Amino acid sequence: MSESFAMSVDADGVATISWDLPGRSMNVLTEAGIAELGACVDRALGDAAVKGIVVTSAKADFAGGMDLGMIARMKEAAGPDPAKGVFEGVMAIHGLLRRIERAGMDPKTLKGGKPVAWASPGLSAGIGTEIGLACHRRFVADQPKAKVGLPEILVGIFPGAGGTTRLTRMLGVMAAAPVLLEGRMLDPKAAKAAGLVDEVVAPGELLAAAKAWVLAAKPEEIVKPWDAKGYRFPGGAPYSAGGFMTFVGASAMVHGKTQGVYPAARAMLSAIYEGALVPFDTALRIEARWFTSVMTNPSSGAMIRSLFLSKQALEKGANRPKVEDQKVRRLGVIGAGMMGSGIAYVAAEAAIEVVLIDRDQAAADRGKATVEGLLADAVKRRRRSEAQAAETLARVTATADFAALAGCDLVVEAVFEDPGVKAETTRKAEAVLEKGAIFATNTSTLPITELAKASRDPADFIGIHFFSPVHRMNLVEIIRGRETGDRAVAKALDFVRQIRKTPIVVNDARFFYANRCIIPYINEGVRMVGEGVEPALIENAAKSLGMPLGPLQLVDETSIDLGVRIAKATRAAMGDAYPDGAVDDVVFALADAGRLGRKASAGFYVYDEKGKRQGLWPELRRRWPAAAEQPDVGEVRLRLGMIQALEAVRALEEGVLTDIREGDVGAILGWGFMPWTGGPFGWLDILGAGRAVEICEGLAARHGPRFEPPRLLRDMAATGGSFYGRAAVAA
C-alpha cells in the first residue's frame, strides 16, 4: 500500500482526508490511490462519530491529474478486450465519486448524507478537479500559484471521471465550454467567477473554512441539483428551445475550431448531448463509453504520448549529457532586436541576471523598452504584480559595452543574420568572457559548424534557436555543431529548463529541423498556386488537416522577402539540383509586385489599413488561372501533410534528429504540425508504413520525386515495423 491518502478525525467530528502521494512532488491518481480514497470515504461515511468530510492535500497543490500510465495498465489488464478494461476502470472511478457525492444519503428521501468539502491549497488539474466537482462545496486557497481546471482536451482526451457531465449540468453548455473545450486553467478568482469553485479563502484559513462549512451545512446544501426533484439542465436540455440553440451553436463552434480532426472534442460534445437526455447515472455511463472510445483511438494515444509524456521527458532532460549542473546565473544577450529582447525577457522572468547589448546605447535601450512593454502587458493581464515586474526589469542591464559581459556564463547572440557580423560578435564577446563560458547563436539558417570557426573553442559553441515571438513559442531547438561539446549541450538544456520551455537537440544541417520541414510545406502550397489550384482550396485543405495556418498565410506571416532570400541561398548552395524553380516563379512575382507579406499589408492575402487580413489576393487567380479541373481536397491535404512528414523522416535518416520524440514534439510546438496526429512520426505510425509508402508512391507518380518514400519508410513497410515500435525495441 503506498498510503497516499490518510484520514484523521478531529474533536468536532470532521474527518480530513489528505492526499500525499509518497515520493512525488505532485499528487497524481493511481490505481492504489483510487482504492485508498475509496476506503477512507467508506470509513468516514460508515462511522457514526464522523459528521462530515474535508478532502484536501498535504502537498502545496491538490493534484496534477491522473497517472496516464494507469489507462495503459487498464487496457493491458483486460487482455484481448482493452476497451472493456478502460470502461470498467472508469466506471469504478465514477462509482467512487458518486459515493462521495451521495455521501451516504438515502437515495429516495435524499436525507442522512454527510457534507463533503473540497479544499485545494494550490493547483488542481484533471481528476483532481473532478474529485472536487463530486464534493458538495469547493474551497481554493487564494495564492498566486493556485489554479483550477480541466486541461485534458489539450492532450487529446476529455474529462472522463464525471467532470464533463457534472460541469455541464452545473453551469450549462455555454458556461462550461471555456473550461472543457479550451482546457483553460483558471486562477482562484476566475474559477469562482466561472462557477468552478465556491469560495476563495486565505491560504492559512483553507481548512478552517472548509471545516466550518461542513459543520454548518444544511441537508439541502448537500443534494446536487441533478439528484433533486425538478432538475432542469441550465440553458435547456437538447429538446427545448434554448437547448436547441445552445447545442446547435456548440456543435458548430467545436467543429469550426477543431475541423473535426480531434476525436476528443467530438466525443466530449457527444457525451454532453447524449448525457443531457438521460438521468445522471446513465449520463455517467455514456461519458465513460465516449471516454473509452477516445482512449482507444490512436490519435489520442499519439497526442498523450507527444504532448504529455515525451514533452515532459524532454523537459526533464531525457537527452541531456551526464555532466554537472549548468544552470545559468548571468546571461549575455547580444542584439537587442526582436529576438534578443524576447530572450532577455524570458530569462529575466526566470530570475536570471541579463546583460543586453546592442551596437549603441539607444538600440540597447530600445531592447530594454521592449522587455518593459512585455512586462507591462503581464501586469495588465494580472499575471504579474507591479512589484514583480519592476524586479524583473531591474535584472536587465542595457548597454553597448561588451566589457559588461564579464562574468556571464552563457551568451546568446541574436544580431543580424550575417556570418561576418556574427563572427565579429563572437570574437568581441569571447575577449571578455571567462574560459568555459558558453557562446550560443540564435541563427535560423547559418550552419553552426561554420559559425563556430570564429570561436576560441568550438566545443563551447552551440546553436540555441528560439522561435518568434520568443515569449509565446515554447519550443527551443538546440543545435550541436560538429565540434560542440557535451557541456555546451547541457548548458543549453539547463537554460531552456530555467526559462520553462521545451527543448529538442538536433545536429547541424541546412535549416536544422523545424525550418527544414516548414519550408517544403510553404513551398508545396505556393507551387500549387502556380499549378492553378484554387488558393482557397489550398488554405482550407491545410486547415482541415489541423494545421494552424495555411501555407499561403504562413508565408505572409514570415514575409515573402525572407522566402526570396532563402530561395536564393538554397539555389546557390544546390546548383542544378535545385528543385523549386516553379515555387520561385510565384514567390518572386509577389516580391516584384511589392507584396512582401503581412508586414507590407500585402501578400498572398489582402489586408485592411489596420493590417487585418481580408481575404486572398484576387489577382492570384488572374496571374495563375485556375485549372479547369481542380484536385480533390484529399489530394491537396495529402500533398501538404506528406511533404512535411517525409522531410521529418529524412531528417531522422540523416541523423539530424536522433530521437523521434524530439521530431514529434518539435513539430507540434515548433510549427503546429497537426497536433491530433501526435507529430509526423505519430502520423506515419497511425497510417501504417505500408499505407504511407503507397500514398507517397502515388503522390510521387503524380507530382514528382520529392514524394518518393525514403529508404527508412520503405524498409519499415517491408518488415511491418513502425517508428515507435522500432524505438521501443531499440530502447
Residues forming a β-bridge with 14 = 52
**Applying CB under 6 A, does 646 fall inside the site for ligand NAD?**
no
Span interacting with ligand NAD, options 245-253, 261-269, 303-311, 332-340, rule CB under 6 A = 332-340
| DSSP code at position 310 | I
In whole angstroms, what is the distance from residue 63 CA to residue 456 CA?
49
The grid cell for 54 is: 474535508
**Applying CB under 6 A, does 340 fall inside the site for ligand NAD?**
yes
Q: How far is CA 481 from CA 25, 443, 510, in A?
A: 36, 12, 12
Give residues with Cβ within 8 angstroms of 582, minimum separation 6: 527, 530, 531
Which residue, 141 or 464, has its beta carbon nearer to ligand NAD? 464
**Residues 300, 156 contacting (CB under 8 angstroms):** yes
Binding-site size for ligand NAD (CB under 6 A) equals 24
Span interacting with ligand NAD, options 94-102, 134-142, 270-278, 354-362, rule CB under 6 A = 354-362
Q: At closest approach, how far in Å is the CB of 336 from ligand NAD?
A: 5
Q: At closest approach, how far in Å is the CB of 38 from ligand NAD?
A: 52
Q: At closest approach, how far in Å is the CB of 196 from ligand NAD?
A: 37
Q: At closest approach, how far in Å is the CB of 28 from ligand NAD?
A: 36
The residue type found at 249 is G
In whole angstroms, what is the distance from residue 544 CA to residue 603 CA?
22
Alpha carbon 194 to chain centroid distance?
A: 23
Q: At closest approach, how far in Å is the CB of 316 from ligand NAD?
A: 25
Pairing of strands 410-413, 330-334: parallel
> For the window 406-425, what string marks contact with ligand NAD as x by the rule CB under 6 A?
--------xxxx---x--xx
Q: Is 497 exposed, middle or buried (0-12, 13-18, 19+ CB in 10 A)?
A: buried
Span interacting with ligand NAD, options 127-135, 441-449, 704-712, 722-730, rule CB under 6 A = 441-449
The number of beta carbons lying within 10 Å of the beta carbon of residue 199 is 17
The binder of ligand NAD chosen from 238, 337, 407, 672 (CB under 6 A): 337
The binder of ligand NAD chosen from 30, 246, 258, 442 (CB under 6 A): 442
The binder of ligand NAD chosen from 4, 30, 293, 444 (CB under 6 A): 444
Which residue, 243 or 335, has its beta carbon nearer to ligand NAD? 335
**Pick from 10, 7, 32, 9: which is nearest to 21 by CA?**
32
The number of beta carbons lying within 10 Å of the beta carbon of residue 714 is 17
Span interacting with ligand NAD, options 22-30, 463-471, 650-658, 661-669, rule CB under 6 A = 463-471
Q: Residue 551: enclosing H or E segment and its boundaries?
A: helix 551-558
Count how many residues are written for the chain: 731
In whole angstroms, what is the distance from residue 418 CA to residue 424 CA?
10
In whole angstroms, what is the distance from residue 3 CA to residue 61 CA?
18
Which residue, 565 or 714, has its beta carbon nearer to ligand NAD? 565
Q: How far is CA 455 from CA 329, 333, 403, 462, in A?
A: 22, 16, 17, 10
**Applying CB under 6 A, does 358 fall inside the site for ligand NAD?**
yes
Span interacting with ligand NAD, options 23-31, 205-213, 355-363, 723-731, rule CB under 6 A = 355-363
The binder of ligand NAD chosen from 282, 468, 614, 719 (CB under 6 A): 468
Which residue, 201 or 363, has its beta carbon nearer to ligand NAD? 363
Q: At closest approach, how far in Å is the CB of 492 from ligand NAD?
A: 15
Q: At closest approach, how far in Å is the CB of 307 from ligand NAD?
A: 23
Q: At closest approach, how far in Å is the CB of 442 from ligand NAD?
A: 4
In whole angstroms, what is the distance from residue 479 CA to residue 81 CA?
44
Residues forming a β-bridge with 655 = none
The binder of ligand NAD chosen from 50, 123, 295, 334 (CB under 6 A): 334
663: left (phi over 0), alpha (psi -120 to 50) or beta: alpha
Q: At closest approach, how far in Å is the CB of 619 from ligand NAD?
A: 27
**Applying CB under 6 A, does 531 fall inside the site for ligand NAD?**
no
**Applying CB under 6 A, does 363 fall inside the site for ligand NAD?**
yes
In whole angstroms, what is the distance from residue 309 CA to residue 248 CA?
35
Q: At closest approach, how far in Å is the CB of 372 from ligand NAD?
A: 16
In whole angstroms, what is the distance from residue 304 CA to residue 171 CA?
28
Q: At closest approach, how far in Å is the CB of 575 from ligand NAD?
A: 24
In whole angstroms, what is the distance from residue 86 CA to residue 73 CA?
9
**Applying CB under 6 A, does 336 fall inside the site for ligand NAD?**
yes
**Applying CB under 6 A, does 339 fall inside the site for ligand NAD?**
yes
In whole angstroms, what is the distance from residue 665 CA to residue 661 CA?
6
In whole angstroms, what is the distance from residue 124 CA to residue 107 CA?
30
Span interacting with ligand NAD, options 187-195, 210-218, 442-450, 617-625, rule CB under 6 A = 442-450
The binder of ligand NAD chosen from 216, 252, 338, 406 (CB under 6 A): 338
Q: DSSP labels for 331-365?
A: EEEE--SHHHHHHHHHHHHTT-EEEEE-SSHHHHH
**Applying CB under 6 A, does 626 fall inside the site for ligand NAD?**
no
Which residue, 299 or 426, has its beta carbon nearer to ligand NAD? 426
**Applying CB under 6 A, does 474 fall inside the site for ligand NAD?**
no
Which residue, 56 or 399, has its beta carbon nearer to ligand NAD? 399
Span interacting with ligand NAD, options 41-49, 438-446, 564-572, 656-664, rule CB under 6 A = 438-446
The residue type found at 425 is T
Which residue, 351 or 431, has its beta carbon nearer to ligand NAD? 431
Which residue, 5 or 345, has its beta carbon nearer to ligand NAD? 345
Q: At closest approach, how far in Å is the CB of 50 from ligand NAD?
A: 60
Q: Is 25 exposed, middle or buried (0-12, 13-18, 19+ CB in 10 A)?
A: exposed
Which residue, 339 or 529, has its beta carbon nearer to ligand NAD? 339
Rg of the chain in Å (alpha carbons): 28
The grid cell for 426 is: 563572437
Q: How far is CA 463 from CA 328, 352, 506, in A?
A: 16, 20, 10
Handedness of CA 204, 206, 211, 216 (dihedral sign): positive
Q: At closest approach, how far in Å is the CB of 379 from ligand NAD?
A: 24
**Applying CB under 6 A, does 93 fall inside the site for ligand NAD?**
no
Span interacting with ligand NAD, options 269-277, 464-472, 642-650, 680-688, rule CB under 6 A = 464-472
Q: At closest approach, how far in Å is the CB of 677 from ligand NAD?
A: 25
The number of beta carbons lying within 10 Å of the beta carbon of residue 573 is 10
The residue type found at 507 is N
Q: How far is CA 565 from CA 417, 568, 591, 596, 600, in A?
A: 11, 5, 11, 12, 16
In whole angstroms, what is the distance from residue 494 CA to residue 490 CA?
6
In whole angstroms, what is the distance from residue 549 CA to residue 540 CA?
9
Span interacting with ligand NAD, options 45-53, 109-117, 334-342, 518-526, rule CB under 6 A = 334-342
The binder of ligand NAD chosen from 316, 359, 383, 623 (CB under 6 A): 359
Q: At closest approach, how far in Å is the CB of 331 from ligand NAD?
A: 15
The binder of ligand NAD chosen from 164, 443, 484, 644 (CB under 6 A): 443
Span interacting with ligand NAD, options 140-148, 336-344, 390-398, 452-460, rule CB under 6 A = 336-344
Residue showing the smallest CB distance to ligand NAD in the complex: 337
Which residue, 365 or 531, has its beta carbon nearer to ligand NAD? 365
The contact set with ligand NAD (CB under 6 A) reads 334-340, 357-359, 363, 414-417, 421, 424-425, 442-444, 465-466, 468
